[in-house]
């Protein structure tokens, strides 16, 4: 990318976790203009559909886990989570279990900025505005070992945090709980990769208490973690998967919810009636055409295999070399999603302060050095386009090294 002065940047954040094919892919631009010329708009409401939407749905069914073969389309990740909210409650009504209405999300989870999305998410700074969360949404703690694990091993901690779900269900009563909602790996919250014990235990619990499992794939989906979905990487069987961002590489706004067969069947049964939900731009044909072209390129150019076998492991190995840096408490990654924790003391994992000074200083030094990344507190976040090469990863690492050195100097030089 180049700014208005012509300064060049490496965008190691892919716009906002989304420009997975990188900027300037002609095929995506052509897909948009061709569809625009052929049919710029038609709705999906009255038993009608359009070709790009039908083909996109078919293609998504072919790449999603085997038990997922239906899609609902909308305009964004937030709308996808609002759709989940309405769909899940309607599902339990149709199942004759109308008391199952409460959603359990996680503190520091992110599911969007609409009323339902921000409520399902657990961002305190969002909840403070507008009296959120709305009724019927509660939260448990996150599986963030580095920040909150204390003296427990990651495995012990992962189990403990997963078991908070069971305690919460017992407190509310399983007959009142509709769904558990979580990202496979938290994105905006700080690229938090749960300990290996976490997801197996969560899945045991949702099964035991007959709770739907909503796995938000808005960031993890479409190759980010080295498989089509975060669910594939972490071996999670979801009932509903919100998607957006990498679905179109951000070229046009489109989101959706991928729906497991047993849930979709409930809505298709005779006497179920319509789910009275949808948006003017649900399955917008131009957005769908671009999404379809995007998914086809990811598949035909073996981009996911390359992330899994080449660039992902290469990034992990290069990041590992930064762990000796005095500021670095941990590096972690899954595919091309990576975090660097900045600390004052490596052993106790303590921070310089609670204001995220180290993180924002590192981000500013990186930017001054031509590298775009994001800081959440003192956690540096990387989510480069999936087409990044190993040579570009070398450039990324040398720019981060310099930013770390400059940050360390700032923090340790007496003023
Ligand atoms: N779910 C997840 C997991 C997300 O990351 C959304 C839903 C909402 O998608 P839309 O398309 O409505 O924005 C997201 C979005 C950040 C940041 O600061 C992250 C997102 C959005 C804005 C800022 O990292 N993620």
Specify the residue with its C-alpha closest to ligand 1, atom 1: 111
User: Which pLDDT does position 69 carry in this prediction?
Assistant: 98
Pocket test for ligand 1, best of 14, 16, 356 (most atoms within 8 A of CB): 16
In Å, what is the CA distance from 272 to each residue of 98, 180, 239? 14, 24, 19
How far does residue 268's CA lie from ligand 1's centre (Å)?
30
In this structure, the strands spanning 371-372 and 10-11 are parallel
Q: Do domains 26-300 and 302-412 have the same CATH topology?
A: no
- Which atom of ligand 1 lies closest to the CA of 188? 24
Q: Is 323 helix (H, G, I), strand (E, B) or coil?
A: helix
User: Which pLDDT does position 192 carry in this prediction?
Assistant: 98
Fold of the 26-300 domain: 3.40.640
Pocket test for ligand 1, best of 218, 224, 251 (most atoms within 8 A of CB): 218
* Cα dihedral sign, 405-411-414-415: positive
Specify the residue with its C-alpha closest to ligand 1, atom 7: 111
In Å, what is the CA distance from 6 to each residue of 9, 22, 106, 363, 383? 9, 19, 42, 20, 23
- Rounded to two decimals, the pTM is 0.98
- Which atom of ligand 1 lies closest to the CA of 187? 5
Pocket test for ligand 1, best of 73, 122, 187, 251 (most atoms within 8 A of CB): 187
Other C-beta atoms within 10 Å of 353: how many?
Answer: 10
How far does residue 76's CA lie from ligand 1's centre (Å)?
9
Question: Distance between alpha carbon 51 and the CA centroid of its chain, in Å?
Answer: 28
Torsion from C-alpha of 236, 306, 78, 171, nearest 10 degrees: 20
Q: What is the mean pLDDT of each run of 10 residues along the chain (415 residues)?
A: 96 98 97 98 95 98 98 98 98 98 98 98 97 98 98 98 98 98 98 98 98 98 98 98 98 98 96 94 98 98 98 98 97 98 96 95 98 97 98 98 97 86
Sheet holding 177-182, edge to edge: 68-74, 255-260, 240-243, 212-215, 177-182, 102-106, 137-140
Q: What are the domain boundaries of the chain?
A: 26-300, 302-412
Please answer whether residues 211 and 169 qualify as being in contact, where contact means their C-beta atoms are separated by less than 8 angstroms.
Answer: yes
Specify the residue with its C-alpha closest to ligand 1, atom 20: 188
How far does residue 237's CA lie from ligand 1's centre (Å)?
22
Pick the CATH number of 302-412 from 3.90.1150.10, 3.40.50.720, 3.40.30.10, 3.40.50.970: 3.90.1150.10
User: Which pLDDT does position 414 carry in this prediction?
Assistant: 80
Whole-number Å distance between alpha carbons of 109 and 161: 14
How far does residue 110's CA lie from ligand 1's centre (Å)?
7
User: Which pLDDT does position 215 carry in this prediction?
Assistant: 99
How far does residue 411's CA lie from ligand 1's centre (Å)?
31
User: Which pLDDT does position 415 carry in this prediction?
Assistant: 75
Comparing CA positions, the residue from 12, 194, 186, 10 lying closest to residue 111 is 186
Q: What is 257-272 written as a DSSP string? A: EEEEHHHHHHHHSTT-
Give residue ranges with CB within 6 A of ligand 1. 16, 76-78, 81, 110-112, 117, 183, 187-188, 216, 218-219, 244, 255, 374
């Amino acid at each position: 990318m180049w700014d208005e002065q012509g300064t060049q940047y490496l965008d190691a954040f892919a716009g906002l976790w989304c420009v997975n094919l990188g900027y300037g892919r002609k095929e995506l631009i052509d897909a948009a203009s061709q569809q625009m010329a052929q049919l710029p708009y038609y709705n999906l409401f009255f038993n009608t559909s359009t070709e790009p939407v039908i083909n996109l749905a078919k293609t998504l069914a072919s790449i999603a886990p085997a038990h997922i073969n239906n899609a609902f389309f909308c305009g964004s990740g937030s709308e996808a989570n609002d759709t989940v909210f309405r769909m899940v409650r309607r599902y339990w009504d149709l199942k004759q279990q109308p008391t199952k209405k409460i959603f359990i999300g996680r503190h520091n989870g992110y599911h969007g900025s609409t009323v339902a999305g921000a409520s399902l998410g657990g961002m305190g700074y969002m909840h403070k505005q507008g009296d959120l969360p709305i009724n019927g949404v509660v939260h448990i703690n996150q599986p963030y070992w580095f920040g909150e694990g204390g003296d427990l091993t990651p495995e012990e901690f992962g189990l403990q945090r997963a078991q908070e779900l069971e305690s919460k269900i017992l407190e509310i009563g399983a007959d009142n709980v509709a769904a558990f909602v979580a990202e496979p790996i938290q994105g905006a919250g700080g690229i938090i990769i749960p300990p290996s014990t976490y997801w197996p235990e969560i899945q045991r619990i949702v099964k035991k208490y007959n709770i739907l499992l909503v796995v938000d794939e808005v960031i993890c989906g479409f190759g980010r973690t080295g498989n089509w979905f975060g669910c594939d990487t972490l071996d999670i069987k979801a009932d509903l998967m919100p998607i957006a961002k990498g679905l179109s590489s951000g070229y046009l706004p489109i989101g959706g919810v991928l729906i497991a067969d047993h849930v979709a069947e409930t809505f298709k049964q005779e006497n179920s009636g319509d789910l009275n939900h949808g948006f003017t731009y649900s399955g917008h044909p131009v957005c769908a055409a671009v999404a379809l072209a995007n998914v086809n390129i990811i598949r035909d150019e073996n981009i996911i295999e390359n992330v899994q076998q080449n660039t992902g492991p290469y990034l992990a190995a290069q990041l590992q070399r930064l762990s000796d840096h005095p500021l670095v408490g941990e590096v972690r990654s899954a595919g091309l999603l990576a975090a660097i924790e900045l600390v004052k003391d490596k052993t106790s994992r303590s921070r310089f302060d609670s204001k995220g000074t180290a993180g924002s200083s590192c981000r500013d030094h990186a930017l001054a050095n031509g590298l775009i990344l994001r800081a959440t507190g003192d956690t540096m976040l990387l989510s480069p386009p999936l087409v990044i090469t190993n040579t570009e990863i070398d450039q990324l690492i040398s720019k981060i090294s310099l930013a770390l050195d400059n940050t360390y100097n700032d923090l340790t030089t007496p003023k």
